[in-house]
Structures are given as structure tokens and as C-alpha cells.
């Protein structure tokens, strides 16, 4: 879409587009320079029109107060034609100047507008509320740079230059679609200004405004896309290790899970399944019969995921390398020679995923694994990691080519590399298997949620890392990422029984539920720390399996609307008490989770927001808008259900094969309510042809009776349900109309 320029000054041109009612896109370019195309992070192409001179546009239907115009009414944003500055007024008072520096460098200073909280910014090891701090975006192999000291790191595996800020009367979102190394100063000096700067490219910003964080995040979802419908069985428990060293060990681990009555859906093959770490090979001795292994696992209901790193071993005679070299598919030096760095196989070259042709070629390589029964793919080291350089990635002046053959520096493409690889993998799996692909990625830029689940990199078996995974997940949720999780038990360093129990209890409420540990550390499967630990870990995993249908509904909301599964307490409410609470979170909109993140801790302080709350395990009902101390024995963490919730609970099973045949529907107090439950096969794309169903369950309390109505629509079989009344409803008569 060509864009008409809106304002021109001697040094600067500004393009302004109305993206939707609640979002405008503003691009600043040096005079005479056309605006760049959006990165692959952006999907939204439609419904946009250029902002006309002299016309105003209200930025939000609900917040009457923000609009882009040339007027000076309460809360208006006005552009100064001479300087190109965006001025923001409240009533007659000038409160902000958006100041693009006019040197041609992509830098922008914008007013804080009284923001009290700022969230999002992708994956960061830091406080949830990032106001008055600074950060940078450059996908980084953390372990290579600073093991165990993540707090000192400004950059992480994933970069999402999007933030959401809370203001007195409204919520603002700002997304800067710039894939270069970028930096935010979020008013670190307390001068009432934020700033954004980039090492290259342009300022291409999307400004969103609404009444709630939820609406802003949904708008961001329209711009960068939402997650695809996930496979239902991948919501189950996943077991990983660097590495299970041979095919017998992999099968043995799965068998032990079954012997110990631990539900398990997925097991992983880390790098040692390959021959000399060469991608798309298997070790001829230790993994001599992968097909038989995957079949044996499959018979137990266990799916196998294999790791695929982008680094291709430089070795003549190795077909993947030979083909890539011959076809010119590799990232090159500025002189045009394939760049050679170092990853697990030693000297390695890197596919240039920027080109469709290369992505398709790489995708086709996966047939080798898929033909042997591998079901999902784990994309690691895709920052990309390169152990041969000081900053642990390939040099910025390396060259990528786009589909038209134009050259782009690695400096521009670096943060997009993970997205491009995930695109390739997702498509390959979809085309080959016709099942919903499971792709797991470590590195990502905005929009990668469309192709891959994400785990938050190499953490350590430290209580602090359990704790920090909470704000990290919350901010990833606000950044549009739902299918996320942290390595349960901790990756580096030795875990211990209590840590594993507490982390698994938190993990039961992380969308990606994966236990993973590093080489040379204690094994950390559920039975490794004795019977007491085994029992508590098993109980936590079983709780998760009760919530599969509920989680699937949350994932669907994420797919349809872009709502995150992990949400901060202030997601919908405006209770200032919650703006800095980062050790509790919502799992969907019905459950509030309060993890335990200190050793020896047997009770904890929790904040209950407005309303009534039912303790998930004890059933006790509490009034909201208060702080209180609740018990947190080693057997459980405090979980609260919002009054009025209609919660589906699955019966126990050891792995997932389609939706449960029966569901217990718990109604937690209140006078009336309604929920819509969605069902499909959880596996194929048949839902796109209407092979799915929706069951609507409503209830009303009339005198001493609870009248429940159940209606289903659609061809997919729905489960039988049993109604269970909780709290004030317990003991009342039920009548069911269907």
C-alpha cells in the first residue's frame, strides 16, 4: 500500500494512517525518503486509510479524550506543521511534544502523559512495571553472555518493542516496528519523557488508545497477529533433558512416567540425537531406530519433539551443507562468501531464512524427521547464537537477501531471524502433516506468536528465577504471547526437591508446561528427589490435567482475540493496588494464581481484587479488595476462583487424545452467569470447515433453585456434563434445561 505523506518539514516527512478506530500509525522519515515496508512482525494490511489534513480522528471510541487533530480540545494531539512535532494538549494546556530528532536518526522523545505503570516489552528479566527504567532490544543468547546474572542483562532471547502504559483516564499502547537494535528510556531520569531510539531503519510507530489494557492488547493482536489454534495434547505435561542420550533412555523415561502414574504428553530429543550435531541427521548408534522409538512412545500416548538448530555444520559431503552452499542459501559476509561461525557442530554456516526459497528448502528438510515419527520441532539457538564472536551472534555486516534479491545487513535482520525460521518450520509441518504444528522457539520478534510457542530461555535452578518467571510471563502476555513457559525446575545448576515441587505447582498454570534441565546437572524428572516430592509433583501435574478444557478455551480466546492467557491483576480492573503486584497473576479470567517462590515458605500474603474469591482447594470464600495471609502447604499453592465462574474440570487421564468425554462443571456462587465452551478435535484444521461445536452453559438462582441451561451447536460431539455447585450455591436444588 503506498502511503501519502501527511506533513513535510525541511528535514522530516510524516506519514499518518488511521489503522483502526483506536489505532493510528505514524511514520517519520528524513525528507525525501519513502517510508519502509512493515517488518514481517506486522500482519495488518487492511482497514487503513491515510489521515487527511484538517480532519480529526478520535483514537478511541471509549476514551473521548484522545484524538489526532488540528484542534485544541480536551486531550487532543496536534501536529505542528513547521517542526513536525506532535503536541498533546489537555484542555488548553500543552503537556507533551513528541520530538523526532531531525537529524535523520531514528529517535523519538514522547511525553509520559502521567503514566503510572508501563508493561510489555517482551521477554525481560526484570520488574513487571518497567516505568522509570531503560532497556534494549537485541536477541541474545543469554547463557553465552552472562550465566546466572540475568538481572544485569539489558537484552534477552526475544525482542518485542511494544509497551502498554496506564494513565489516569486511558491506557496507551506504543509499538515501534523496527527490527534493528533498539532502546527505550522509560523516563529513567524522571523528566516526564520516554524515548525510543534505533541503530537503523525508521520510526514506524503504532499508537493505540483505549479504556483497558485488554482492548489495547487486542489491538496489538490485530497488528501483529494472534497465535494459531494449538494442538490440545501439547497443553499437557512435557518432559525434556539435555539430553536423553539414547533411544532406550527416552522410552525408559516415558515408561517411568507411566509407572509412577504421572500424566505425560510430550518428550524431547535435545542435540545429542544427531550425528555430530548435524541438523537433519540421527546418530547411527545411539538413535539407530528412531521410527521404532517414536512408535513405542506413540503407543503410550507420548509425542516426540526434536530440536533443530539453525547452525549447519560446515562439512563437504554433508548434504544439507552441500545443497545450501550450492544453491547460495547461506548468510554471507559483505564480500559474498558464506559466513562461518561456531555452534555445537563446530564450524557452522547459517541459512538465510529471509528468502521464501530458503525457507521452503529448509522446511522440506524436516521430512527426514517427520518421516520417522517426530511430531513437533524445537527451534533453539536462533538469535542466532554464534560462539565464535564476542557478542555471541553473527556480525552485523553479514548479508541477507530478500525475495527480490535486495541485500539487507544482519544488523537489520538479526531480531527477525527467529521469526523467519519459525515461519519456515510452521509451514513445513502444516503442509506435510496437515495437523496443527507444534513449533517451539527461543528467539522471537513481534508477531512470532503466529508460528511458535516460546520458552523463556536458559534460566537456572534458583528460587529467584522461579520468581522472576512470573513478571516475565506477564509481560510476554501483554506483548501478545500466550503459548509460553519457563523451564520447570530450572535449566542450569542443580535443582532440589522443594524447588521442583514449587516450580511444577506454578508450571501447572503456565501455558507451556515443560520440565527441562541442562547437561551436568542433577536429573530432575518428578521421581528424582524421593517419594514425597514425587507425590507433590504428581498432584500438581494432575491439577493441570483437570484444567485442560479450561486452558483450551483460554487459548482459543487468544487465537480469536489476542487475549493473553497469563494476565496481570490490573488486566481489566483499574485498582491501583495491583499495578505493581508481580507475584500473582490471572490464568485466563477466572483463576488467580499465587505461587510460592521462597524455600521453606508455608503461607503467603495475597491480594484479592474486588469481588468474592473461592479458594480452589479448600473451597473457603473470601471478600475481595483486601490483603491477607493464606496457607500454602508444600502440597499446593494458593489458587482462587472468581465468584460467578463456571469452570469446566476434566477427569483424570494420563495423556490427551481429543476433548474429554465427560466434564464436571463447577459453578462458583453468584446469582447468574454464562460460559461458552468450544470443542473440536484439538488436532486438525477441520475446525476451519466448521467441524467444531460450542456449548453454552448458563445459570440463574431463582428462589432456592439453581436453573441451569445447556445448549450446544455444531457437529463436533460435546462432552457429557455433571453440574457441581460451590460456595453459597452448595446444597441447592438444580434443574437442567437443555
Judged by CB under 6 A, the chain residues 306 through 325 that form the site for ligand GLC are: 307
Helices (H), 417-521: 417-433, 463-478, 497-507
Give the C-alpha separation, 226 to 477, whole Å: 11
Asked if 466 interacts with ligand GLC (CB under 6 A), we say no
Q: State the Cα angle at 429 between 425 and 434, rounded to 5°.
A: 155
Asked if 380 interacts with ligand GLC (CB under 6 A), we say yes
Least gap, CB of 390 to ligand GLC (angstroms): 18
Site string for ligand GLC, 289-308 (x = CB under 6 A): ------------------x-
- Judged by CB under 6 A, the residue of 458, 498, 636, 681 near ligand GLC is 458
Pairing type for strands 453-455 and 484-485 reads parallel
**Which of 420, 455 has the CB closer to ligand GLC?**
455
Give the torsion sign (CA, 283, 288, 291, 292): negative
Least gap, CB of 245 to ligand GLC (angstroms): 13
Least gap, CB of 307 to ligand GLC (angstroms): 6
Asked if 123 is an active-site residue, the reply is no
**Which of 458, 557 has the CB closer to ligand GLC?**
458
Judged by CB under 6 A, the chain residues 143 through 172 that form the site for ligand GLC are: 143
Judged by CB under 6 A, the chain residues 75 through 114 that form the site for ligand GLC are: none
Distance of CA 60 to the CA centre of its chain: 26
Please enumerate in sequence order all residues whose Cβ is within 8 A of that of 498, keeping only pairs 6 or more positions apart, or say none.
533, 599, 600, 634
Please enumerate in sequence order all residues whose Cβ is within 8 A of that of 71, keeping only pairs 6 or more positions apart, or say none.
56, 78
| Local structure of 325: helix, strand or coil | helix
Least gap, CB of 725 to ligand GLC (angstroms): 45
Asked if 681 is an active-site residue, the reply is no
**Which of 457, 511 has the CB closer to ligand GLC?**
457
Pairing type for strands 646-649 and 603-608 reads unpaired
Tell me which of 177, 380, 563, 650 is the catalytic residue: 380
Nearest to 225 by CA among 419, 354, 44: 44
Burial of 520 (0-12, 13-18, 19+ CB in 10 A): exposed
Q: State the Cα angle at 701 between 695 and 702, rounded to 5°.
A: 125
Give the torsion sign (CA, 582, 587, 588, 590): negative
**Which of 163, 442 has the CB closer to ligand GLC?**
442
Site string for ligand GLC, 567-606 (x = CB under 6 A): ----------------------------------------
Asked if 270 interacts with ligand GLC (CB under 6 A), we say yes
Q: How far apart are the first and last CA of the chain?
A: 50
Give the C-alpha separation, 656 to 450, whole Å: 23
**Which of 443, 695 has the CB closer to ligand GLC?**
443
Burial of 617 (0-12, 13-18, 19+ CB in 10 A): middle
**Which of 165, 459 has the CB closer to ligand GLC?**
459
Give the C-alpha separation, 645 to 724, whole Å: 12
Asked if 267 interacts with ligand GLC (CB under 6 A), we say no
Site string for ligand GLC, 508-547 (x = CB under 6 A): --------x-------------------------------
- Judged by CB under 6 A, the residue of 196, 242, 353, 679 near ligand GLC is 242
**Which of 140, 179 has the CB closer to ligand GLC?**
140
**Which of 382, 553 has the CB closer to ligand GLC?**
382
Tell me which of 187, 458, 525, 536 is the catalytic residue: 458
Give the C-alpha separation, 608 to 623, whole Å: 8
CA distances from 375 to 43, 284, 452, 515 (A): 27, 20, 14, 18
Site string for ligand GLC, 333-372 (x = CB under 6 A): ----------------------------------------
In this chain, which residue has its C-beta nearest to ligand GLC?
Answer: 242
**Which of 164, 266 has the CB closer to ligand GLC?**
266
Nearest to 700 by CA among 678, 726, 729: 729
CA distances from 435 to 24, 73, 176, 253 (A): 37, 53, 34, 26
* 619-641 as b/e: b if 16+ CB within 10 A: eebbebeeeeebebebebbbbbb
**Which of 309, 375 has the CB closer to ligand GLC?**
309
Site string for ligand GLC, 408-437 (x = CB under 6 A): ------------------------------
Asked if 403 is an active-site residue, the reply is no
Judged by CB under 6 A, the chain residues 673 through 732 that form the site for ligand GLC are: none
Least gap, CB of 729 to ligand GLC (angstroms): 46
Least gap, CB of 649 to ligand GLC (angstroms): 32
Least gap, CB of 393 to ligand GLC (angstroms): 14
**Which of 281, 558 has the CB closer to ligand GLC?**
281
Q: How many chain residues bind ligand GLC (CB under 6 A)?
A: 10
Residue corresponding to grid cell 539457538: 381
- Judged by CB under 6 A, the residue of 59, 269, 271, 548 near ligand GLC is 271
Give the C-alpha separation, 361 to 382, whole Å: 17
Please report how many Cα atoms fall inside a 13 Å half-sphere around the Cα of residue 651, on the Cβ side: 11
Least gap, CB of 596 to ligand GLC (angstroms): 25
Instruction: Provide the phi-psi class of 682: left if phi over 0, else alpha when psi is between -120 and 50, else beta.
Output: left
Least gap, CB of 112 to ligand GLC (angstroms): 36
Asked if residue 466 lies in contact with residue 460, where contact means CB atoms within 8 angstroms, the answer is no
**Which of 458, 643 has the CB closer to ligand GLC?**
458
Least gap, CB of 536 to ligand GLC (angstroms): 25
Per-residue DSSP letter, 79? E
Give the C-alpha separation, 311 to 178, whole Å: 25
Tell me which of 383, 557, 563, 680 is the catalytic residue: 383
Asked if 176 interacts with ligand GLC (CB under 6 A), we say no
Pairing type for strands 193-198 and 107-111 reads antiparallel
Least gap, CB of 240 to ligand GLC (angstroms): 7
Least gap, CB of 270 to ligand GLC (angstroms): 5
- Residues annotated as catalytic are 380, 383, 458
Binding site for ligand GLC (CB under 6 A): 143, 242, 270-271, 307, 380, 442, 457-458, 516
Amino acid at each position: 500500500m503506498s502511503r501519502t505523506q501527511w506533513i513535510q518539514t525541511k528535514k522530516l516527512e510524516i506519514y499518518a494512517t488511521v489503522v483502526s478506530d483506536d489505532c493510528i500509525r505514524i511514520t517519520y522519515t528524513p525528507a525525501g525518503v519513502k517510508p519502509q515496508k512493515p517488518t514481517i512482525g506486522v500482519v495488518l494490511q487492511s482497514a487503513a486509510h491515510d489521515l487527511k489534513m484538517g480532519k480529526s480522528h478520535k483514537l478511541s471510541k471509549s476514551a473521548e479524550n484522545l484524538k489526532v487533530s488540528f484542534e485544541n480540545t480536551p486531550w487532543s494531539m496536534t501536529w505542528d506543521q513547521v517542526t513536525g512535532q506532535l503536541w498533546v494538549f489537555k484542555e488548553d494546556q500543552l503537556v507533551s511534544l513528541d520530538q523526532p530528532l531531525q537529524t535523520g536518526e531514528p529517535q523519538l522523545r514522547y511525553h509520559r502523559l502521567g503514566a503510572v505503570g508501563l508493561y510489555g516489552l517482551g521477554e525481560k528479566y526484570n520488574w513487571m512495571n518497567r516505568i522509570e527504567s531503560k532497556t534494549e532490544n537485541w536477541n541474545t543468547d543469554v547463557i553465552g553472555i552472562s550465566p546466572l546474572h540475568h538481572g544485569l542483562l539489558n537484552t534477552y532471547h526475544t525482542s518485542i518493542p511494544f509497551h502498554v502504559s496506564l494513565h489516569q483516564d486511558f491506557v496507551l499502547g506504543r509499538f515501534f516496528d523496527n527490527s534493528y537494535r533498539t532502546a527505550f528510556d522509560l523516563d529513567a531520569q524522571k523528566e516526564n519523557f520516554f524515548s525510543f531510539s534505533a541503530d537503523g531503519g525508521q520510526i514506524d510507530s503504532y499508537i493505540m488508545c483505549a479504556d483497558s489494557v485488554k482492548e489495547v492488547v487486542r489491538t496489538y493482536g490485530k497488528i501483529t497477529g494472534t497465535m494459531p489454534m494449538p494442538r490440545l495434547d501439547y497443553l499437557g505435561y512435557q518432559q525434556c533433558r539435555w539430553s536423553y542420550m539414547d533411544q532406550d533412555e527416552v522410552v525408559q523415561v516415558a515408561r517411568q512416567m507411566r509407572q509412577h502414574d504421572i500424566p505425560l504428553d510430550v518428550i524431547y530429543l535435545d542435540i545429542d540425537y544427531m550425528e555430530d550435531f548435524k541438523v537433519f541427521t540421527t546418530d547411527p548408534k545411539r538413535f539407530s531406530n528412531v521410527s521404532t522409538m517414536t512408535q513405542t512412545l506413540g503407543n503410550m500416548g507420548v509425542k516426540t519433539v526434536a530440536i533443530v538448530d539453525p547452525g549447519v555444520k560446515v562439512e563437504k559431503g554433508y548434504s544439507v551443507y552441500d545443497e545450501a552452499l550450492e544453491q547460495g542459501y547461506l548468510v554471507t559476509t559483505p564480500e559474498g562468501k558464506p559466513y562461518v561461525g561456531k555452534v555445537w557442530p563446530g564450524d557452522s554456516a547459517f541459512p538465510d531464512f529471509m528468502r521464501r526459497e530458503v525457507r521452503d528448502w529448509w522446511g522440506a528438510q524436516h521430512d527426514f524427521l517427520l518421516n520417522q515419527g517426530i511430531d513437533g520441532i524445537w527451534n533453539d539457538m536462533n538469535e542466532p547464537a554464534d560462539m565464535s564472536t564476542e557478542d555471541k551472534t553473527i556480525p552485523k555486516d553479514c548479508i541477507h537477501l530478500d525475495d527480490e534479491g535486495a541485500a539487507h545487513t544482519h544488523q537489520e535482520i538479526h531480531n527477525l531471524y527467529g521469526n523467519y525460521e519459525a515461519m519456515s518450520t510452521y509451514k513445513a509441518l502444516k503442509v506435510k502433516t496437515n495437523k496443527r504444528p507444534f513449533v517451539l522457539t527461543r528467539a522471537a520478534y513481534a508477531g512470532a506468536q503466529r508460528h511458535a510457542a516460546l520458552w523463556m530461555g536458559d534460566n537456572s535452578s534458583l528460587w529467584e528465577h522461579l520468581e522472576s518467571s512470573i513478571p516475565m510471563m506477564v509481560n510476554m502476555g501483554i506483548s501478545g504471547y500466550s503459548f509460553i513457559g519457563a523451564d520447570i525446575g530450572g535449566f542450569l545448576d542443580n535443582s532440589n526437591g522443594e524447588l521442583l515441587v514449587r516450580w511444577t505447582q506454578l508450571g501447572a498454570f503456565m501455558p507451556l508446561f515443560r520440565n527441562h534441565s541442562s547437561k551436568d546437572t542433577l536429573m530432575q524428572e518428578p521421581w528424582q528427589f524421593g517419594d514425597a516430592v514425587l507425590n507433590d509433583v504428581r498432584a500438581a501435574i494432575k491439577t493441570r490435567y483437570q484444567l485442560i478444557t479450561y486452558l483450551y478455551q483460554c487459548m482459543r480466546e487468544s487465537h480469536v482475540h489476542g487475549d493473553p492467557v497469563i494476565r496481570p491483576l490490573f488486566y481489566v480492573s483499574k485498582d491501583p493496588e495491583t499495578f505493581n503486584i508481580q507475584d500473582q497473576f490471572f490464568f485466563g479470567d477466572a483463576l488467580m494464581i499465587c505461587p510460592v517462590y521462597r524455600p521453606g515458605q508455608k503461607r503467603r500474603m495475597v491480594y484479592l481484587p474486588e469481588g468474592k474469591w473461592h479458594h480452589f482447594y479448600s473451597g473457603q470464600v473470601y471478600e475481595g479488595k483486601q490483603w491477607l495471609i493464606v496457607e500454602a502447604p508444600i502440597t499446593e499453592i494458593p489458587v482462587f476462583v472468581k465468584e460467578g465462574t463456571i469452570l469446566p474440570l476434566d477427569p483424570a487421564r494420563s495423556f490427551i487424545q481429543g476433548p474429554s468425554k465427560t466434564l464436571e462443571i463447577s459453578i462458583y456462587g453468584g446469582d447468574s452467569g454464562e460460559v461458552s465452551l468450544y470443542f473440536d478435535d484439538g488436532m486438525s484444521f477441520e475446525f476451519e470447515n466448521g467441524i467444531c461445536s460450542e456449548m453454552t452453559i448458563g445459570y440463574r438462582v431463582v428462589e432456592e433453585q439453581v436453573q441451569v441451561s445447556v445448549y450446544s451447536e455444531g457437529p463436533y460431539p460435546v462432552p457429557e456434563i455433571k453440574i457441581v455447585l460451590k460456595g453459597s450455591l452448595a446444597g441447592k436444588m438444580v434443574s437442567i434445561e437443555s
